A and B are shown apart, each in its own frame.
Chain A
């Protein structure tokens, strides 16, 4: 039991479509980050939210966007899907401060 739940676990989309991935964090975890992990690579930071505001972003285009809600849930939205967007998408959350992140098991997105 990681305390961070992601849905769906697997998803297949067509190039050009839009997708929304969801994450439910532990109560009190007011910081959430999203990562993209391509096959055989380490996770790459997409962005981070703190108290519903984006406060950090990696090298990803604007078609990657997110939302964080007061109930400690969050979303990752990707528009105009490309084949290279196929990856494992990970959500991670923590309380503010120098603490370790708790990761979910991820959503495996396949773009065809």
Chain B
């Protein structure tokens, strides 16, 4: 089962910032928060990931609360091409019982982001 909770859908106006929330209240100390998105009929695309510090790259920013129980993905200037399903995923770093959970991405239902003109 996914360890994250996301709203099923969100809307955003083109050019405005899109802020996508994610709850991961049972996150463990060695687990990272990853964000992927999936545009219709394509494979998921990696966006960003972080452990406890805020992160920024050319696509987005990731804000993780101090207690690490929630995070927000920020698309600073949303475009129509950002319309997609956004998945927030908690993934263990190396370790876990037998190592079999390492690397596994557990996808939930995600958030359908619709960017409109």
Q: Which of A12-20, A77-85, A102-110 contacts B (4 or more CB under 8 A)?
A: A102-110
Tell whether, in the assembled complex, residue B103 and residue A31 are in contact, meaning their CB atoms are under 8 Å apart. Answer: yes
Q: What number of B residues sit within 8 Å (CB to CB) of A?
A: 26
Complex contact B43–A2 (CB within 8 A): yes
Is the C-beta of A100 less than 8 angstroms from some C-beta in chain B?
yes
CA A55 – CA B100 in complex, angstroms? 6
Whether A42 and B108, one on each chain, are in contact in the complex, defined by CB atoms closer than 8 angstroms, is: yes
Q: Which chain B residue lies CB-closest to A4?
A: B43
The segment out of B44-52, B63-71, B76-84 that lies at the interface is: B44-52
Q: B residues within 8 A CB of A2?
A: 43
In angstroms, Cα B102 to Cα A82, docked, is 29
Q: Count the A residues whose beta carbon is within 8 Å of the partner chain — how many? A: 26
B109 on the A face (CB < 8 A) = yes
In the complex, the answer to whether A103 meets B44 with C-beta atoms within 8 Å is yes
Least CB distance, A2 to chain B, in whole angstroms: 7
Q: Using a CB-CB cutoff of 8 Å, which residues 41-97 of chain A contact chain B?
A: 41-45, 48, 50, 55-58, 90, 92
- Whether B100 contacts A57 by the Cβ 8 Å rule is yes
Chain A residues near B104 (CB, 8 Å)?
Answer: 33, 45, 48, 56, 58
Contact indicator B102/A92 (Cβ below 8 Å): no
Give bound CA distance, A39 to B70, whole Å.
28
- In the complex, what distance in Å separates the CA atom of A55 from the CA atom of B95? 12
Binding site for B on A (CB under 8 A): 2, 4, 31, 33, 35, 41-45, 48, 50, 55-58, 90, 92, 98, 100-106
Q: Using a CB–CB distance below 8 Å, which chain B residues touch chain A?
A: 2, 32, 34, 36, 41-47, 49, 87, 93, 99-110
17 A-B contacts, Cβ less than 8 Å apart? Answer: A31-B103, A33-B105, A42-B109, A42-B110, A43-B105, A44-B107, A48-B104, A55-B100, A55-B102, A55-B103, A90-B44, A92-B44, A92-B105, A100-B36, A101-B105, A105-B41, A106-B43
Beyond A42-B109, A55-B100, 10 extra complex contacts between A and B, CB < 8 Å? A33-B103, A41-B109, A42-B107, A42-B110, A43-B44, A90-B44, A92-B105, A100-B46, A101-B44, A105-B42
